[in-house]
């Protein structure tokens, strides 16, 4: 699985690889070939397309030169523009010279006329200027050069495709901090492992799509194997999709009970239930206040219903007595979407998670990936707690012990701040370490929502999603996410894996919905749920 490593860790990984037989030269060759392959895949027809290499003096400049060789071999028209002279004996530059390709050097380009001419006609640009070792601030010469590049790009009526080698120039690969002159990439091809700065803002807004390329370093390589921070990928989550045997029945794929909704937020329950069905749950049961059941029943006719007592439009404390008798056979319990924070609902949740609840003990005892049954806490199945459910947990002493093992919490940064009593800014400043710390302390999987969603397990494993889209910055999308995670959890997927799988499918569904509609701004939460099948079909 692709990892996320710091620049220092990457140097140690490369050093160890070189010492064990994979030379630096071979790694560079593999990196350049990967860049060329990515470019060929992105351009509809590579033959005759003009690709401009922007070449720095570091290793990623070498990677760009290697890529140029393979692109020329594939039929592209290639030219290189060097920010500084490179020694004539450089083998990667020599291959381009032997091919008769145009090589220009910044110090010989008076007035930047050649740079302007090359950018004006480029179909694509490979940014190999500043490498992973770049640290702010930019030197004056670097500022001027990047400013000139951006100025010439701005003159274009149609922008060329820009591929960044390892990190876009002007972005600190560890921190995600950027220079004002940083280049925007459409695709960043990073090698062996992703770098943290690609997955943090403001730099995350400059990377485009992220692709982690294999340069010959094996996953079990000593230094790489030590890393327990991963970046989610299609290959990763595909392996966790539940099997769909031909002789299955609805019980094969689990039962989700969605405890959600109030008079002010009736749609949250429907969105969560629909998402749980769309990811493959066999049965979704909606446990909602009686006063909203009629409002949402038509939105999800496939569901069964538990009609709960209510007070002033919110779930009443006495609803525990009704719900507790209906949980037999439940394999995941989603709590919180659209709850509101009415005192009666707070009392309901407290009773539900206490030993006082009259839970039907039947055949619950769900066994998850952790190898523990839900009998530890009043025979509740694994819980997914979202939205107002999280805020109500905070009011309950010892809530983390009350939740069954294998449960999942899905806060956004504001809810995380409420749960932890930490400033939201501090949480956002180091999302990975914050989630790791609290997942370990609470003993449950935590999903910190937002751009580049982070998922952490109690054993310190963590995964970052390589997605950031404003399509999901809309009311109700969190309910869809919670339902998707609950749906996978109900099918027997482990807590950590279900959280990653649900978050991955949800993010891709948001991106796909925006592509269909032609606008991220126009995407509604229901459309995210409706595009889940298209994402599932491509995994």
| Side-chain half-sphere CA neighbours of 395 within 13 A | 16
- Residue 79 pLDDT: 98
Pairing mode, strands 454-456 and 462-464: antiparallel
Residue with token string 């990623």: 60
Residue 421 domain-assigned (yes or no): yes
Whether residues 183 and 254 share a domain: the answer is: no
- Residue 386 pLDDT: 98
Question: Tens digit of pLDDT for each residue in 433-485?
Answer: 999 999 999 999 999 999 999 999 999 999 999 999 999 999 999 999 999 99
Whether residues 192 and 330 share a domain: the answer is: no
Domain around 277:
250-538
CATH of the domain at 201: 3.40.50.10260
CA dist 168 and 2 (Å) reads 19
Task: Name the domain boundary from 169, 191, 226.
Answer: 226
Whether residues 208 and 305 share a domain: the answer is: no
Q: Which residues contact 497 (CB under 8 A, 6 or more apart)?
A: 240, 369, 488
CA dist 484 and 196 (Å) reads 27
- Residue 141 pLDDT: 87
Helices 113-121/140-154 angle, 10° precision: 40
Whether residues 219 and 316 share a domain: the answer is: no
CATH of the domain at 386: 3.40.1190.20
Residue 244 domain-assigned (yes or no): no
Residue 240 domain-assigned (yes or no): no
Residue with token string 């007035």: 111
Q: Copy the structure tokens of residue 444.
A: 């449950």
Whether residues 132 and 265 share a domain: the answer is: no
Whether residues 459 and 317 share a domain: the answer is: yes
Angle at 239 between CA 163 and CA 507, to 5 degrees: 50
- Residue 377 pLDDT: 43
Residue 234 domain-assigned (yes or no): no
Residue 487 domain-assigned (yes or no): yes
Question: How many other C-beta atoms are found inside a 10 Å radius of the C-beta of residue 293?
Answer: 19
Q: What pTM does this model have?
A: 0.93
Q: Copy the structure tokens of residue 15.
A: 């050093």
Number of domains in the chain: 2
Residue 237 domain-assigned (yes or no): no
Whether residues 302 and 209 share a domain: the answer is: no
140 neighbors 97 (Cβ within 8 angstroms)? no
Question: Tens digit of pLDDT for each residue in 48-75?
Answer: 999 999 999 899 999 999 999 999 999 9
- Residue 510 pLDDT: 99
CA dist 53 and 72 (Å) reads 12
Please measure the distance between the N-terminal and C-terminal CA atoms of the chain and give it in whole angstroms. 16
Whether residues 212 and 269 share a domain: the answer is: no
Q: Which residues contact 489 (CB under 8 A, 6 or more apart)?
A: 254, 256, 331, 332, 368, 382, 384, 406, 408, 495, 498, 502
Residue 262 domain-assigned (yes or no): yes
Residues of the chain with pLDDT under 70: 88, 355-378
- Residue 359 pLDDT: 56
Whether residues 124 and 258 share a domain: the answer is: no
Question: How many other C-beta atoms are found inside a 10 Å radius of the C-beta of residue 131?
Answer: 20
80 neighbors 97 (Cβ within 8 angstroms)? no
Whether residues 300 and 206 share a domain: the answer is: no
Q: What helix, strand, coil percent values describe the chain, rounded to 5?
A: 45, 15, 40
Beta-bridged to residue 463, according to DSSP, are 230, 455
Whether residues 260 and 407 share a domain: the answer is: yes
Q: Which residues contact 518 (CB under 8 A, 6 or more apart)?
A: none
Residue 242 domain-assigned (yes or no): no
Whether residues 222 and 258 share a domain: the answer is: no
């Amino acid at each position: 699985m692709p990892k996320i490593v710091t620049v220092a860790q990457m140097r140690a990984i490369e050093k160890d690889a070189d010492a064990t037989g994979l030379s630096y030269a071979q790694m560079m060759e593999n990196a350049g070939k990967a860049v060329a392959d990515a470019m060929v895949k992105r351009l509809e027809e590579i033959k005759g397309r003009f690709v401009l290499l922007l070449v720095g003096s570091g290793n990623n400049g070498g990677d760009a030169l290697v890529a140029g060789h393979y692109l020329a071999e594939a039929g592209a028209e290639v030219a290189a523009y060097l920010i500084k002279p490179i020694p004539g004996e450089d083998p990667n530059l020599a291959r381009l010279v032997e091919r008769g390709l145009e090589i220009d050097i910044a110090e010989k380009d008076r007035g930047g006329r050649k740079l302007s001419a090359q950018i004006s006609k480029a179909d694509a640009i490979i940014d190999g200027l500043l490498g992973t070792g770049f640290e702010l601030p930019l030197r004056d010469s670097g500022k001027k050069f990047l400013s000139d590049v951006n100025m010439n790009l701005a003159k274009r009526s149609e922008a060329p495709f820009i591929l960044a080698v390892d990190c876009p120039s002007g972005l600190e690969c560890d921190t995600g901090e950027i220079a004002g002159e940083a280049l925007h990439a459409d695709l960043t091809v990073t090698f062996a492992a992703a770098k943290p700065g690609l997955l943090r803002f403001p730099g995350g807004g400059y990377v485009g799509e992220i692709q982690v390329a294999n340069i010959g370093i094996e996953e079990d390589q000593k230094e790489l194997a030590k890393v327990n921070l991963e970046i989610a990928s299609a290959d990763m989550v595909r392996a966790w999709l539940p099997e769909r045997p031909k002789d299955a029945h609805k019980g094969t794929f689990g039962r989700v009970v969605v405890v959600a909704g109030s008079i002010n937020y009736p749609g949250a329950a429907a969105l969560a239930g629909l998402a749980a069905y769309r990811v493959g749950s066999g049965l979704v049961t909606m446990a909602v206040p009686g006063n909203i059941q009629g409002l949402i029943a038509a939105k999800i006719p496939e569901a069964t219903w538990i009609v709960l007592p209510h007070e002033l439009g919110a779930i009443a404390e006495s609803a525990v007595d009704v719900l507790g008798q209906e949980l037999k056979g439940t394999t995941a319990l989603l709590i919180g979407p659209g709850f509101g924070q009415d005192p009666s609902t707070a009392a309901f949740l407290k009773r539900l998670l206490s030993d006082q609840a009259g839970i039907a003990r039947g055949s619950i005892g769900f066994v998850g990936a952790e190898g523990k049954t839900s009998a530890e806490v009043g025979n509740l199945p694994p819980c997914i707690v979202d939205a107002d459910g999280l805020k109500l947990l905070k009011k309950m002493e010892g809530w983390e012990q009350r939740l069954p093992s294998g449960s999942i919490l899905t806060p956004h940064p504001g809810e995380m701040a409420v749960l932890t009593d930490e400033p939201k800014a501090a949480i956002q400043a180091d999302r990975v370490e914050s989630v790791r710390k609290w997942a370990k302390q609470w003993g449950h999987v935590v999903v910190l929502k937002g751009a580049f969603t982070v998922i952490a397990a109690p054993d310190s494993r963590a995964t970052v999603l390589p997605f950031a889209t404003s399509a999901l910055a809309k009311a109700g999308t969190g309910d869809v996410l919670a339902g998707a995670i609950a749906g996978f959890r109900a099918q027997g997927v482990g807590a950590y894996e279900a959280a990653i799988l649900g978050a991955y499918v949800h993010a891709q569904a948001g991106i796909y919905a925006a592509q269909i509609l032609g606008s991220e701004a126009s995407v509604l939460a229901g459309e995210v749920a409706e595009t889940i099948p298209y994402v599932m079909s491509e995994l």
